[in-house]
Structure 1
Amino acid sequence: MTETLLSTTFSTFQALPFSDRCHRVWQRGDHLLVGVSPGNSYFSQLRIAQLVRWGRQFFDAVDVVYADLHVDTQYAVNGYPAELALRRAGKEIKATRRRIERGVALAGRGGVGVHALSEFADTAVYRRLCGEVAAALDEDAEFRAAAELMAAGFLASRLPEDETPTADQLAAGLGYIAAELPFFLDTPGLLGVESSVSCYHVELPLTPVLFGRDHGLRAAPGQGYAVLRPRVAPQLASAA
């Protein structure tokens, strides 16, 4: 059963931790994780600057992690030849990192890390979490249904309007989502922080599965999730 969002409103963003537990993690103020997907126009340079500056007011540290795994696969399953898919993905990933780095610099705040998802691919914690995700996709119907819904939402922005994803496209979307999920499960274990809140501007289909149920694959005790919505038109406030 999905728990009621708890609303905590501050000056620039409205923060809505998903549950009481997520709210307690939020109140600890240890760490905020901002995840960025290549090609997502929501995360402009200015938006990233605003998020970072705002986040550093309420958290001891902020990290931005951007997806750079399985991006080429999204182009390949949409008809791009393999070499062209790799080039397009590489260009998109580089543009995303530049946008993040410029946003962080514009924010003018320390204590902010910028990481590619691939930096964690060979770590024991990330491999373990990926294994747990893969097992849940195979064995947990509730988890898989939510993951497929999340993948379909991701694919919708890349497909023509009203076009249903093919089986190959859905599989590629699931691979992309699965690579990101460790940071919804256990950012503290991945980054070595006491606790962490992962944020996004909408509630995701997997949120109630990972943070609201009492069985199956769930987020670690020190992991929280919050919807973080702008309250005003994006503009960089003056330095505090």
Structure 2
Amino acid sequence: MTKFEVEPVTPTCRRIYERGDHALIGVSAGNSYFHQERLGSLLAWAEEHFNMVDVLYIDTHIDAMLIATGLTPAQAGSRTRSMLKDVRRRIRRALEKTSGTAHGRLRVRSMSECAQLPAYQEVLRRLDRDFDDSGPVRRAAEEQVRELLEHHSVPVTEHSADSVQIKAGLAYVRSEIPFLLDTPAILGVPSSVTCYHKLMPVVTALYQEPGSPGRSARQGFLVVSPEPVAAPDSPPQQTRSRTRRKQLTLTEQYDEIAADYTDVERVFSTYRSLIEIPSLLRALGPVDGASVLDLGCGSGAYARLLRRRGAAEVLGVDVSPGMIEVARALEEREPVGVRYEVLDAADMPVLGTFDVVVAVAVLHYADSRATLARMMRQTWANLTPGGRFLAYVGNPRLPADSAQMNGLVVHRPDNARDGDPSPLTIPTTPPTTLPARYWSCETIEKTLRASGFTDVVWEPLDGLPSGAQEPVNLLVSARAQPVGAADTAAPSARERAPLAATAAQ
């Protein structure tokens, strides 16, 4: 279960926290930070520390926000219903980890329900005096909305506060602020702390700016974030987890990345669409009627792609519960018929006999030759005889500390040997460094053949810009040979690994 760091923003907030009367946990419909496992851990933590806990999910102003981003009213309505269905499901399943509901200590409320309370409306009227005068909280709310729109790459039609996007965002943020001012009055509790995983501009304004609307002396705010996990050989660290993701295990790092799915898409979408997807589809060929297993599926981008291209059955597996939560949420929002499971590629059981297995950026996380071999043996065990295996693996020819067109930076020692650390830094916010390893083309080939594969080929890559030195990943394909069959002397895959000049043609 996830452990949390707790940071009250002021000494008064600490005293309110230590009283333990009440906690309010707000969950936004579109925020995948609160995946089911993390939310369950957070509720269990809150149940342990507070006499009463309210989970508040935001169900107002979502459609207006979506329309402001360019969706039609019909599309926005459909997307809103799907998002709310997803957030209610996450909360319901997270509650299964707690006992508070049985004792009436843990309640779930919607914003639309709370907005009807007379005490909420009174606090909102107090807030509106600041908004009408463009006071410090109004200015902080605009800053918060602009950061959100920029983060989600939403173009703002005007720079003024009158733009459609800013107005929609302000309505959304405004509805939340009363719970930062006086939750005790609104919900009838002795004192309360609002819990969130980061500090927001509005909170900073409320606690630091002179002239802000008066907060209740019984109202506090906590930054509650996942506790950092030190590497096995590292000394204890005091740095906050949200600025040091590299301290976490690979699974926990991908859970952290999953917390902001749009950030991940910003990093990978261009490289994926221009190079990875066209190259893989060309190498794979038609998938009509095929069964597909996607190893390390992440948010399910390739699983959904192959299902839409005619695959009859697609199963995605990933070691990160957070990523699987994102994938399942996307499937629930726009169903295409993909199943997802939390499994480790090195230790998964036989899940079926698949025609195709794909593994995008998975093998280079093997931390030893034994782990690499287990990944490949388990892959072979899940393939039908003659089935295809296609994998993107870290390019061993990349020079040390080289940056790629999608912003990835590969940190590699000179004269690297198999199994040496070759960390990848991903330009998320904050940057994430993942513990990849160096594996030579020869070792990949030998391990594939030793694991029951034949016809090992390094496939050419499409779409590389002219003048590019090396792609960040190479694409290897192989076939699962039947038990007892001899390798048919496939040509050396290294000899067929494409040079960038060839791939760019």
| TM-score (norm: length of structure 2) | 0.42
- Is 1:121 the equivalent of 2:145? no
Shift of 1:156: 3.4
Which of the numbers 19, 39, 48 marks the counterpart of 1:48? 39
Larger Rg: 2
Q: Who is 1:226 aligned against?
A: 222
Tell me the equivalent position of 1:60: 51
| TM superposition shift of 1:165 | 6.2
Contact in 2 for aligned 1:155/1:165 (Cα 8 Å): no
Is residue 13 from structure 1 mapped to residue 4 from structure 2 by the alignment? yes
Please show how residues 55-134 of structure 1 align to structure 2 within 5 Å.
55-110=46-101, 111-134=105-128
1:159-212 Cα deviation digits (max 9, x unpaired): 35xx44641101100000001111111111111110000011111101122123
Equivalent residue in structure 2 for 1:135, among 129, 136, 155: 129
Contact 2:40–2:97 (Cα < 8 Å) also in 1: yes
Q: How does 1:136-151 map to 2 (within 5 A)?
A: 136-151=130-145
Give the length in aligned residue pairs: 224
Measured in 1, the distance between the counterparts of 2:116 and 2:85 equals 21
Which structure carries more helix by proportion?
1
Deviation at residue 157 of structure 1 after TM alignment: 4.3
TM-aligned CA deviation for residue 141 of structure 1: 3.1
On the 8 A contact 2:29/2:83 being kept in 1, the answer is yes
**Equivalent residue letter for 2:166:** L
Q: Against the structure 1 CA distance between its residues 165 and 179, is the aligned structure 2 distance closer, same or farther, given a 3 Å change threshold?
A: farther
Matching residue's letter, 1:25: I
The 1:140/1:78 distance shift into structure 2, 3 A limit, reads closer
Counterpart AA for 2:47: R
Cα separation, 1, equivalents of 2:170 and 2:149: 10
Structure 1 residues 165 and 36: alpha-carbon distance in aligned structure 2, compared to 1, 3 A threshold: farther
What are the superposed Cα offsets for residues 88-109 of structure 1, whole Å, 9 maximum, x if unpaired? Answer: 1121112111111111113344
Preserved contact between residue 26 and residue 195 of structure 2 (Cα < 8 Å): yes
User: Following TM superposition, by how much is the alpha carbon of 1:215 offset from its aligned partner in structure 2, in angstroms?
Assistant: 3.2
Q: Is the 8 A contact 1:63 1:115 kept in 2?
A: yes
Higher mean Cα deviation, 20-29 or 214-223? Answer: 214-223
1:32 aligns with 2:23: yes
Mapped partners of 2:166, 2:5: distance in 1:
32
Aligned residue for 2:214, secondary structure, equals coil
Distance 1:126 1:159 in 2: 33
Distance in 2, matches of 1:165 and 1:194, equals 44
Q: Distance in 2 between matches of 1:25 and 1:76?
A: 39
Find the counterpart in structure 2 of residue 6 from structure 1. none
2:185 is the counterpart of 1:189: yes
Report the identity percentage: 34
* 1:199 matched residue in structure 2: 195
Mapped partners of 2:209, 2:65: distance in 1:
31
Runs of 4+ in 1 over 6 A off after TM superposition: none
Asked if structure 1 preserves the Cα contact closer than 8 Å seen for 2:8 and 2:14, the reply is yes
Aligned AA (1:227) = V
Q: Is the 8 A contact 1:209 1:218 kept in 2?
A: no
Cα separation, 2, equivalents of 1:13 and 1:194: 24
Match of 2:149 among 131, 155, 158: 155
Q: Confirm or deny: 8 A CA contact 2:156 2:165 kept in the other structure.
A: no
AA partner of residue 38 (structure 2): R
Mark the runs of 5 or more structure 2 residues left unpaired by the alignment.
Answer: 229-251, 256-319, 322-505
Following TM superposition, by how much is the alpha carbon of 1:214 offset from its aligned partner in structure 2, in angstroms?
5.0
My pick for the range that moved more, 16-25 or 213-222, is 213-222
Mark the CA change 1:60 to 1:32 in structure 2 (over 3 Å): closer, same or farther: same
Deviations 1:120-172 (A, max 9, x none): 12221111122222221121432221111111233334335xx4464110110
Q: Distance in 2 between matches of 1:156 and 1:104?
A: 33
Task: Provide the rounded CA distance (Å) in 2 between the counterparts of 1:154 and 1:63.
Answer: 25
Cα distance, 1:196–1:76 mapped onto 2, change above 3 Å: same
Local SS of the residue matching 1:106: coil
List gaps (5 residues or longer) in structure 1. Answer: 1-10
What is the aligned-residue RMSD (CA, Å)?
A: 2.0
Residue matched to 1:215: 211
SS in 1 for 2:215: coil
* Cα displacement string for residues 210-233 of structure 1 (whole angstroms, at most 9, x for unaligned residues): 123453303211110010111154
Q: Is the 8 A contact 2:184 2:191 kept in 1?
A: yes
What is the alpha-carbon distance in structure 2 between the residues aligned to residue 117 and residue 165 of structure 1? 28
Query: Structure 1 residues 201-210 or 103-112, which shifts more?
Result: 103-112
Paired position in structure 2 for 1:4: none
Q: Which one is further off, 24-33 or 147-156?
A: 147-156
Matched residue SS, 2:201: coil
